[in-house]
Chain A
Amino acid sequence: MSRRRGTEAFRLSLQPPHRRLISSPTVVRNPAVANRTALYPTHVALGAKVIDFGGWDMPLEYPTHILREHTATRTAAGLFDTAHMGELLVEGPGALESLQRLVSRDLAGMEDGQGRYTLLMTERGTVLDDLVIFRQAENRYYVVTNAGTFQSDAVHISAHLKDAAARNLQPETCKLDLQGPKTFEILAKVSSALLRKLKRFRMTAADVAGVRALVSRSGYSGEPNGVELFFPQKDALRVWDALLEAGRPAGLLPCGLGARDTLRLECCLPLYGHELSTAITPLEAGLEWAVSLEKEFLGVTALRRQKQEGVPRALAALKLAGRQPARAESRVYRGERQVGVVTSGTFGPTVGCAIALALVEASAAAVGTQLQIEVRGNRLDAAVVERPFHKPSKAS
């Protein structure tokens, strides 16, 4: 058996075509150049299958495999090592003004501890990265980036700062995501802080397993109950072990990037490099809510024009008739004509069928439109449905 061309779930980690899937279960590379999180040896000891993601050796799945990890997160909780992601501290009297010029969403009016999802823009109105930016104090902002884009984000942001400086916190920071309905029940066993009271996209400092951490109520699973924890890298194993032990009776499982991908895709959260890129605008990606068109920022002119003229393409959520996944880059047809391309596709474990996001001509993106996706020469029926595919039940 061998891996087929163009079916890699994560484009950032695209391997050479026809790489033998089975004969090299772990990535063998010069450890001097491979980025590894502090918990890498722990993942290997747990039997994780390791893949390259954004230049990092990360667990794709543990021996529990993706479906069980996905279901654990939906029904109990999942613990994810996300220390590959980047953190920048932007500080100084010009911090807010500078960031405002770079990102799509208005950051004004946030309280200390409040965060917003936003997009780092090009002048053409396309996207360099998606970020979450928290206001820590009047002149101090905590910026969370993707892994593969961190270096270029840092260079771009630093070059545009006026009366402010950016500090790279990534080397000293461990980040873990705890996601799912049992999140706060588990946290209560290792922290005396009333974290359940934390609102969505709010960050607070709290002791977790005896470690001073920043706790933000956010994540990438679509679950309303979930936190992202930021704390010193030297305490990585201590917090990881404490959370796993506290969560075991509740059904917590360590989860890899495979489950992270199926969880986010069922809830239609974009993945940079797939639904977002320097060739796609946020209006096309269905992220107008994350764009403040009345604000001045890099790329706003192009976006205002596109808003006025109408988007040529739009992101559509496609539900397939069967179980066969249509992967990224599969062609989307309406009748005989190609109208777009799949940006992400998988089997949705909670939805129970194959699902995909596709960038299609705007006229083909209306809910109810019947489309076909070409997979290995066959056309599979797919219908445009409301986003998201799966709506987790409300926060407790």
Chain B
Amino acid sequence: MSSKVPAGLKYSKEHEWVRVDGNKAVVGITDHAQMQLGDIVFVDLPKVGALVQSMKPMGVIESVKAASDIFSPVSGKVIAANGELVKTPEIINQDCYGKGWIAEIELSQPDELNALLDEKAYAALISEA
């Protein structure tokens, strides 16, 4: 199965995507991740105002079969979380790069973005699996 890896986003090796806008970034999980997880039934969202650290868990996502940590791909302060996911977590399965975004983070260490993958490197990573 081929999964979508849109251009213009940054990706983590833990299968999160990052859309950077100035000193802020919107994050979510990738198409590859949602396909592997299967039907998502619950998301434990990070709290607005919480400080998150790059490559540390910021939330949990539950599919029918298992729970998985969502790692924050960047460090900073959570300034928004996608409340739609509380009642309709399945929108991550339907539109993981759009309506299924998870959180918006104000970046405290923008340099970290350089360590993330571009779409080509991420596509290569998931094709190896």
Interfacial residues, chain A to chain B (CB-CB below 8 A):
1-4, 7-9, 21-25, 47, 49, 60-61, 63, 65-67, 258, 261-262, 322-325, 327, 346-347, 349, 354, 376
B32 CB within 8 Å of chain A: yes
Taking a contact as CB atoms under 8 Å apart, the answer to whether B64 and A347 are in contact is yes
Partner of A4, one of B36, B39, B66, B129: B66
Taking a contact as CB atoms under 8 Å apart, the answer to whether A4 and B64 are in contact is no
Partner of B129, one of A7, A23, A323: A23
Chain B interface, number of residues (Cβ within 8 angstroms): 30
Partner of A67, one of B36, B62, B64, B69: B64
Taking a contact as CB atoms under 8 Å apart, the answer to whether A258 and B38 are in contact is yes
B104 CB within 8 Å of chain A: no
Q: A22-B36, A65-B39, A324-B62 are in contact. Are A3 and B129 (CB under 8 A)?
A: no
Taking a contact as CB atoms under 8 Å apart, the answer to whether B129 and A2 are in contact is no
* Bound Cα distance from A43 to B42, whole angstroms: 28
B50 CB within 8 Å of chain A: no
16 interchain pairs, CB-CB under 8 A: A1-B37, A1-B70, A2-B68, A2-B71, A4-B60, A21-B36, A49-B38, A61-B38, A65-B38, A65-B93, A66-B38, A258-B64, A262-B64, A327-B67, A347-B42, A354-B41
Partner of A25, one of B67, B69, B129: B129
Taking a contact as CB atoms under 8 Å apart, the answer to whether B42 and A258 are in contact is no
Closest to B38 in A: A65
* Bound Cα distance from A327 to B42, whole angstroms: 13
Write the B47-66 contact mask toward A (1 if CB under 8 angstroms, else 0): 00000000000001111111
Partner of A1, one of B16, B64, B89, B129: B16
* Bound Cα distance from A2 to B66, whole angstroms: 10
Number of cross-chain contacts by CB at 8 Å: 92
Taking a contact as CB atoms under 8 Å apart, the answer to whether A63 and B15 are in contact is no
Closest to A257 in B: B65
Chain A residues near B64 (CB-CB < 8 A):
9, 65-67, 258, 262, 325, 346-347, 349
* Bound Cα distance from A60 to B64, whole angstroms: 11
Among B35, B62, B66, B93, chain A packs the most CB atoms within 10 A around the CB of: B66
Closest to A68 in B: B39
Write the B80-102 contact mask toward A (1 if CB under 8 angstroms, else 0): 00000000010001000000000
Taking a contact as CB atoms under 8 Å apart, the answer to whether A22 and B129 are in contact is yes
Chain A residues near B15 (CB-CB < 8 A):
1, 22
Q: A1-B29, A66-B38, A67-B39 are in contact. Are A21 and B62 (CB under 8 A)?
A: no
* Bound Cα distance from A170 to B118, whole angstroms: 50
Taking a contact as CB atoms under 8 Å apart, the answer to whether B60 and A323 are in contact is no
B112 CB within 8 Å of chain A: no
Chain A residues near B1 (CB-CB < 8 A):
47, 63
Closest to B12 in A: A1
Taking a contact as CB atoms under 8 Å apart, the answer to whether A3 and B70 are in contact is no
Partner of A376, one of B14, B60, B68, B70: B60
Taking a contact as CB atoms under 8 Å apart, the answer to whether B38 and A21 are in contact is no
* Bound Cα distance from A303 to B66, whole angstroms: 35
B33 CB within 8 Å of chain A: yes
* Bound Cα distance from A60 to B38, whole angstroms: 10
Q: A49-B36, A66-B38, A258-B38 are in contact. Are A9 and B44 (CB under 8 A)?
A: no
Among B1, B15, B61, B93, chain A packs the most CB atoms within 10 A around the CB of: B15
Nearest-Cβ distance from residue B1 to partner chain A, whole angstroms? 6
Taking a contact as CB atoms under 8 Å apart, the answer to whether A9 and B60 are in contact is no
Chain A residues near B29 (CB-CB < 8 A):
1
* Bound Cα distance from A179 to B61, whole angstroms: 30
Nearest-Cβ distance from residue A152 to partner chain B, whole angstroms? 27
Partner of A21, one of B37, B41, B89: B37
Partner of A22, one of B32, B65, B67: B32
Taking a contact as CB atoms under 8 Å apart, the answer to whether B69 and A4 are in contact is yes
Q: A1-B16, A25-B36, A25-B129 are in contact. Are A325 and B42 (CB under 8 A)?
A: yes
Nearest-Cβ distance from residue B40 to partner chain A, whole angstroms? 10
* Bound Cα distance from A1 to B70, whole angstroms: 5
Chain B residues near A49 (CB-CB < 8 A):
36, 38
Chain B residues near A376 (CB-CB < 8 A):
44, 60
9 closest cross-chain pairs (CB), A and B: A347-B41, A7-B67, A67-B39, A66-B64, A324-B42, A9-B65, A1-B68, A4-B67, A65-B38
Q: A4-B60, A21-B37, A376-B60 are in contact. Are A66 and B44 (CB under 8 A)?
A: no
Taking a contact as CB atoms under 8 Å apart, the answer to whether A1 and B33 are in contact is yes
Closest to A67 in B: B39
* Bound Cα distance from A47 to B41, whole angstroms: 22
